[in-house]
Structure 1
């Protein structure tokens, strides 16, 4: 398989955004709507590009690894080995250990709760991603066939455009269903694969036309890409901050706000993906400690994603105990962010070297690949 240097860096960027999301979401624990709450609302929404980036990378890597004829049994065996065991283990763990705000023992779950957690990824706030990615893995051979059919007829870009509209309609429809038919409808629909299919197929397209995508990206002024990503962050984050300021919380927002957000989000996430590719090129050109640190962080991104809620919850409890400061204080957020990133990485890197522990972290072996795949 040809390896893409960009992936190594982007895998390092995405978990940092995930940690930022799951720390800033504690703005709900601030008693009043103040500047600290509004800043964290903005960060919470703007950093949500993390999952689309992970999905994009998954499509890119799978399409590069599996092209033409390949044994389906081997494909599904490899996917099951890297995702099912960690998902089962951490679902069981997070059912018994609560990580909402602080850490604690939740008790032994009932069979009904365990079944729901496995089906919907509700054992902890971050496990829904596994429900989504498992579907995309299962459907990958069919998705590839569909992409290849459009590609052979010269309509790959038309497919991406169609998926853009389908995804917007699906996600806006999920909010409508949740509002009029019950919140459980939203919970289910937003976890189904059409909610992120555009980013997965975009990754497949990048794998098939890597040189063309690189050339197209190089032809655009970097300032335009960064401006598009920054404008998207300001627009989406600003909408949510204004909503919280107006209604006092996100839960008090009108349905129109949710639908506008779902319409706008792809036009923010796609420029962010492009901006992260540019950042990967810049780091790779400069080299040095920052580039090495980003690649090392990316090697363990899967494990970091799994364990970071434990670190955030334990870190918040220790921080409050030692300093008396809580989520209502400015100092808490940067301190817990730095601690969560460093401790999660260190814990995963250490555990991945322990025999068999790597399997529980989705890291049965180190992911580093030698060499480079063409110029940028």
Structure 2
């Protein structure tokens, strides 16, 4: 589908359409004249699959993180530790998609004040609402109703995203949203100079140094410093700009992905998983404790993680392309899960806490029993998805992604 325009990118249509960019080489209008403002509107449903994969990985992270409750280092604990580490590709994927979709929506001439107004309307209401909810109903440990927090505690929770263990992501993405107009201008300067790949490599190098420094400073100056630096935008800036770059080079990227051998990409991502998982597992085995290693040990992990995340992103894109091509129930599930990923992301911690309490009450099993982990993973995915689907037609459920206006999973331009 081709649209002809005069001066600027047309408004974004229904969710799922992507404008790969302006065709500026010999495009010819229906009248036969060359036209430099051709917008190729390509249906990219693969993004929904990516969101679905990442949302499932987020649930896996927050289920498996309870490996620390095993009384001693054992096989189930180490297995869940490995899942916990390797499923952390979820946040880089969401941020990668955020950069992609913001570049889609805000390319060329656009109103910066209107951009900020739209970002504020779409990100702040859910963040404020769920910060208040999780301050009143804490989900770490046993689920309970807490007393009204002090104003200082509320301010700290909003600044650091500490009301629940998943809200830190909002702190990072809000910073990237605020800086996007500057980031995209810097990218365009490098892109016009033919140095976009140099910029990406420089950002990757700086991001690795930043995250290594966060671990080192946390080890020597206190864990609070690590928490602050890990939530600062440089910790994930490379993945955000990578999304912008892939949007600008959509055609090339899709062709490059199709030209790669799936087997070799899977091998590369598997090797990366073993490397970063091993960096965590080895200190636990040596110290015979899940808390025996210092933050400084994990500086090595920060060096290796991009070598894992980048192949994983490519593997997930390949899987999305395959699902879109073959179709079927599995494809429908992942795409629908991705469409509702924003709401799933927001509510799944309270679902985990509630289901864990019910599971312990009826079976007597807790996080120290290996069977708890797969059962609660499947149950959390099903209940979270079902709850968001049921809430979708209801009024005032925009912060759950229940309306067409707000139904933008983590990584969409209208959500996190």
Shorter chain as denominator, the TM-score bin is over 0.9
Cα RMSD, aligned residues only: 1.3
Q: How far did 1:44 drift?
A: 0.3
**Is it true that 1:131 corresponds to 2:171 in the alignment?**
yes
1:161 alignment counterpart? 201
Could you say which residue in structure 2 is the equivalent of 1:26? 66
Distance in structure 2 (CA, Å) of the matches to 1:353 and 1:17:
26
Measure, in 2, the Cα distance between the counterparts of 1:221 and 1:101. 44
CA separation in 2, counterparts of 1:308 and 1:248? 32
Measured in 2, the distance between the counterparts of 1:10 and 1:279 equals 9
Matched residues in 2 for 1:54 and 1:151: separation? 23
Corresponding residue for 2:284?
244
Match of 1:53 among 93, 97, 102: 93
Aligned counterpart in structure 2 of residue 205 of structure 1, from 245, 250, 255: 245
Gaps of at least 5 residues in structure 1 are: 369-376
Deviation at 1:176, TM superposition (A): 1.5
- Give aligned pairs, total: 367
Question: Counterpart of 2:337?
Answer: 297
SS at match of 2:147: coil
Decide whether aligned partners of structure 1 residues 280 and 357 sit closer, same or farther in structure 2, where only a CA change above 3 A counts: same
Task: Show the 5 A alignment for 1:1-376.
Answer: 1=12, 2-3=17-18, 4-358=44-398, 360-365=399-404, 367=407
**Contact 1:121-1:129 within 8 A present in 2 as well:** yes
- Listed as ranges, the gaps of 5+ residues in structure 2 are 1-11, 19-43, 409-416
Higher relative contact order (CA 8 A, sep 6+): 1
- TM-score of the pair, normalised by structure 1: 0.95
- Is the CA contact (8 Å cut-off) linking 1:82 and 1:364 kept in structure 2? no
- Native 8 Å contact 1:97 1:107 kept in 2: no
Corresponding residue SS for 2:404: coil
Conserved in 2, the CA contact under 8 Å of 1:302 and 1:363? no
Deviates more, 1:213-222 or 1:81-90: 213-222
Q: Which moved more, 1:145-154 or 1:342-351?
A: 342-351
Q: Decide whether aligned partners of structure 1 residues 255 and 320 sit closer, same or farther in structure 2, where only a CA change above 3 A counts.
A: closer
